[in-house]
Amino acid sequence: MREQGEHRADADVLLRESARLPIRFVLSSRPEPEIRDQMSEQVRSRLVLHELDKGKVQVDIETYLRAELSQMSPSEEQIAALVDKAGILFIYAATAVRYIGYDNFQSDPHDRLRTILATSGSEEDGENEEIDQLYTTVLEAALGNRRLRKTERDSMQQVLHTVICARDSLTVSGLSELLRIHNIDRVRGVLRPLWSILHIVGESELVTTLHASFPDFMFDSARSRSYHCDSRVHNHILAEHCLQRISRTRPQFNICGLESSYLPDHMVPNIQERVATVISSDLLYACRYWADHIEAGKCESTLTVQLQGLLSTRLLLWMEVLNLNKQMRIGVECMKRVVEWCNRSESDEELIILANDAHRFVNTFAANPISQSTPHIYVSMLTFWPSSSPIVKHYMRFTRGPVEAEGTALDQRQLAHLATWRYEGEIRAMAISQDGRCFALGMGTNVLVADSSSGQSILGPLHTHSKAISAIMFSPDGTRVVTGSVDYDDAGPFPHSWTYKIVGWDTNNGDIVVGPLPLDEPASRISCLTFWSDCTCIASGFAGQTVCLWDAKTGKMLRSLEADALVHVVAFSPDGSLIAAGCDAALQVWNSHTGDITFGPLSAGQVNTVTFSPDSSRIIHSDLDKKTINVRDAQDGQLIHELSVNVEGDFGHGNSIGFSPDNRHIASNIDGVVYVWDAQNGKMVLGPLEGHTSGSTEVVFSPDGSCIISACEGGACAL
């Protein structure tokens, strides 16, 4: 079983559903805590090698060694010594067999066996002593061979370090192209002495490490010593190789020769074959992972120059490759990392401006339906991108080629929004996950979780509420969505009897993990939900005069806080120290640990929205009576700014407020119109942004601050 967190959902499904199937699965992995926890919770039959009787494990290892080394007939003493060195590690035995039997037992296997048995470590080597000695022996035989020329040794080391630093497995031909070792047989040649620790899979010649313990060994300088791989240095090298690989691609425009923008990619004849023929595995690897290697590598000026080259001359080619492989989501993540890296590495202002523009360009294309047709990178995106932007200045001169502007996408595209997505149902509540990958909607009685770059549903609709969901929130770690509603029964023995529900959903599979919690509260709706920063506590506000705190795992009520007026909204400060409630005519703030009032109630008109700044220093809330949005000090409630807009008639009961992650901007969605202010001086910097046809309910910033998502009751979301 792969151990990366991104495969947790797959493991959950397999472990949960396998009991219902007429087949059985055998899963194996290293004893990582997360995987062991999953197996302990859901699997009835579980064996942990480290927990088995050592003698029983060694009997199996001895049987394996005798069978695999039968060609050379080792002595009983040698078998016993190998078993003793292996301990309970089958990987030791497997690696030893591959080393001893190198070249089909034609490279003096008896001498190789004696070499392994002769190794001994120091007392400081600890629990990894035997496997470290074995790995060192293999590397000495491969890299320490005196007959190797320096160029051969350098190539072997470069290939080895690439295999253990690569974000995904590469083929032999992929390694050859990416590392510019132009003779593929040369790559095969440098891999042969490493077969004891590397695995080459079948006809595809996919190269992987034999076991995860080998990269651990190589990255630890105290264990691998002179063979140590400095991951930061080699990730920097791989970033350069990836950027160079993209720059060598030909053609640099319309790579698959698509004749028209009229057809979406999936309707182009033989599109999959054309993509596979033109876009090699190493080029796709370079396009997917160059930003990962930049982020993980050393920050040096040479990378800045190559990054400038990619963004100014090859960005659109890179987008073509990803979009044709249906991986634009990766492109959005890449550009986010690049912007962060540029700011962190104190790049020059020109590069930072270009990176930010590229980020917006990629994000806009990925979120828009025109991404279904790759030629629209040029036909629509570049054509209608602001003429003063760096992207247009760099690329407009290159827009000549066989692509023809056809179809209706040009006329339908709206520059006011990056994208608009429509859903079936009235949207009353919305939340975005902290990593920005998805957002959740309360649509009538259903819950829907959607991808924030495409708007496509990834979970749901989920149903357990019988009346409209009035509040929704992600847990900070993104593993749960909590919803709240008030349900009532007109036909039962007690007409108009109310039942309150708080339900927690697993975002991987849609299972209910908390509740439904039936609550006995005054007869009015659950107005809001929020999570404490450590995911242990949920706060719910009722349109009565109560704020309740709940244990997020068990659903047990921890504390009830009484407000001085009807509660419309409740919010935790990001640091978890405060909880604020917006009421009918007041703002009230408590210490979330003790329940003591920090300040308030402050007279503030009707408050139906409230939130904290990301640094927990400020509170922003609406005042429906004065038609203002107020910014206050979170410790004493002192007014800092009073933000106002010219709204005719009612200020709206569906408006919401959001703070940008960098504390610099405040956004509000007032009856379908979005406004943005500078949080430092209170001046409006953007808006009004119009586009919704019905009253809006929510507005949230993406976690990187680059986008604002708003939702309206009519069932539309705008990015």
pLDDT of the residue at 179: 93
pLDDT at 88: 64
Strands (E), 195-352: 198-201, 206-209
The DSSP-derived string for 429-482 is EEEE-TTSSEEEEEETTEEEEEETTT--EEEEEEE--SS-EEEEEE-TTSSEEE
In angstroms, the CA 422 to CA 426 distance is 10
Gap between the Cα atoms of 555 and 482, Å rounded:
11
The single residue listed with the structure tokens 């060598």 is 248
Question: Residues 192, 196, 198, 199: is their CA dihedral positive or negative?
Answer: positive
Q: Which option is the CATH number for 424-657: 3.20.20.10, 2.130.10.10, 3.90.1150.10, 3.30.1490.20?
A: 2.130.10.10
Tokens of 199: 């695995």
Question: What phi-psi label fits residue 575: left (phi over 0), alpha (psi between -120 and 50 degrees) or beta?
Answer: alpha
- Residues 581, 587, 591, 592: what is their CA dihedral angle, to the nearest 10 degrees? 10
Degrees to nearest 5, angle at CA 463 with 714 and 458: 75
Contacts of 709 (CB under 8 A, 6+ apart): 430, 432, 439, 452, 698, 699, 700, 702, 717, 718, 719
**pLDDT for position 278:** 93
- The whole-number pLDDT of residue 416 equals 44
Between CA 154 and CA 333 the distance in angstroms is: 33
pLDDT, mean of each 10-residue run, the chain (719 residues): 49 62 67 55 55 70 83 84 75 78 76 76 59 84 84 91 93 93 88 84 84 85 89 93 94 86 87 92 95 85 86 94 92 89 84 91 84 87 86 79 43 48 73 75 81 76 72 75 64 44 73 64 50 63 67 71 74 80 79 80 72 85 77 86 67 64 79 78 75 56 67 53
Q: Which residues contact 676 (CB under 8 A, 6 or more apart)?
A: 665, 666, 667, 684, 685, 686, 687, 689, 708
Q: Return all residues near 244 (Cβ < 8 A) that are at least 6 apart.
A: 180, 306
Burial zone of 695 (CB within 10 Å; 0-12 exposed, 13-18 middle, 19+ buried): middle
Domain ranges within the chain, ordered by starting residue = 5-36, 231-412, 424-657
Q: What is the DSSP string of 513-553?
A: EEEEEEE---SS-EEEEEE-TTSSEEEEEESSSEEEEEETT
| Residue 387 burial (C-beta neighbours within 10 Å; 0-12, 13-18, 19+) | exposed
